[in-house]
Amino acid sequence: MNTLKPAKILTIVGARPQFIKAAMVSRALAAFRPTAGQRRFEEAIVHTGQHYDPAMSDVFFEEMDIPRPVVNLHVGSGGHSVTTGAMLEGIERELLSRKPDWVLVYGDTNSTLAGALAAAKLQIPIAHVEAGLRSFNRRMPEETNRVLVDRLSTLLFCPSENARANLAREGIVNGVHVVGDVMYDAVLHYRAKAIAPALDEPYILCTLHRAELTDDPVRLRGLIKMLDEAPHKVLMPLHPRTRKLADRENIVPGTNVCWLEPASYFAMLGYIEHAAFVVTDSGGVQKEAYYLGKRCVTARDETEWTELVACDANRVVGSDPAALRAAFDWAAQPLAENRDVYGKGDASERIAGILADM
């Protein structure tokens, strides 16, 4: 009989992509069966409340069967300093109370940074899922968060060899493991539950939400105008931040662009799977498009998921109307079958196994 005390994991989440990733890793932690010398896991989830709209938060816990958070800090929106500071205070309180063996953080949001900073100050080891990604654009707050969290982490779980190489160039080699992408695990696990849209004509799926776009009304207006000239109808689930700017600046879609309410994860999988192709500025949607066999046009100046560009699954066009127009014909072509760029769909189990050996 294994009489070792369980390893206590405190998981920090706050935004839609983190809920999806945590769904898979939490499942793997719960299902892990330790062998001699290994401990089972006892996980508690802290939700910072970074995404507080029910359509961007609650629905994911419900439909994906994610363990309910032990606490929601209800931080909400605001400036980077205000929100990160509030998260730090709340997370530190939970760390002092629960005394975990590990803090598990995902991706590159302010929730990720706050979780890592709070743990580092209390000398609690940090495990970073999606370590080593780099866009090399320090104007992006996400890039700053990635670099800082990787510096603080004890275990760095990389989705690809490129991510490992990025860390090595920065002198980070200890505790680095290439495990694959947990979002690939999620697509494989949940694909059968995807909800197909009730639409009998070809369409393009578009999502736009990043600050570099939603803080720039000229850029957003130009992209919306260009999308109205796309070869198919454009379905666009609208992020609350994008809607806020559109309302404030009186940006309205043309007849070819259909704005929708934020979609659940299963609905998003259905939108992507049945689309002609995808236009997005989301890192997660770039990968989901690839896993579901669709080309992706990225409305950013760069991407951290460089492997998708290298295998001709993704084209980065920024906000240039001519580049976007040229990408439409490219994106409509079939995507070659190759799903091993980010592992084989077992990243979550590999993460659990590595944590168990620590």
Stretch 310-316: mean pLDDT: 95
> What percent of the chain has a predicted confidence (pLDDT) above 70?
97
Q: Enumerate the H helices of 6-79 as residue ranges.
A: 16-31, 58-63
- Model's pTM, two decimal places? 0.93
CB atoms within 10 A of CB 76: 14
Which of 47, 51, 128, 209 is an active site residue? 209
Residue 345 CB contacts under 8 Å (≥ 6 apart), including other chains:
180, 184, 185, 188
Q: How distant, in Å, are the alpha carbons of 9, 17, 195, 271, 283 from that of 267?
A: 30, 14, 5, 6, 18
Helix (H) or strand (E) segment spanning residue 278: strand 277-280
Residue 83 near residue 111, CB atoms below 8 Å: no
Structure tokens of 84?
């990160």
* Residue recorded with tokens 């990389």: 158
Per-residue model confidence (pLDDT) at position 319: 79
The model's pLDDT over 254-312, given as tens digits with 9 standing for 90+, comes to 899 999 998 889 999 999 999 999 999 999 999 999 999 999 999 999 999 999 999 99
The model's pLDDT over 50-73, given as tens digits with 9 standing for 90+, comes to 765 555 567 777 788 888 899 999
- The amino acid sitting at 261 is E
Q: Please name each of the domains of the chain with its CATH number.
A: 7-181+343-356 (3.40.50.2000), 193-331 (3.40.50.2000)
* Helix and strand totals (H; E) in the chain: 15, 13
239 an active-site residue?
A: no
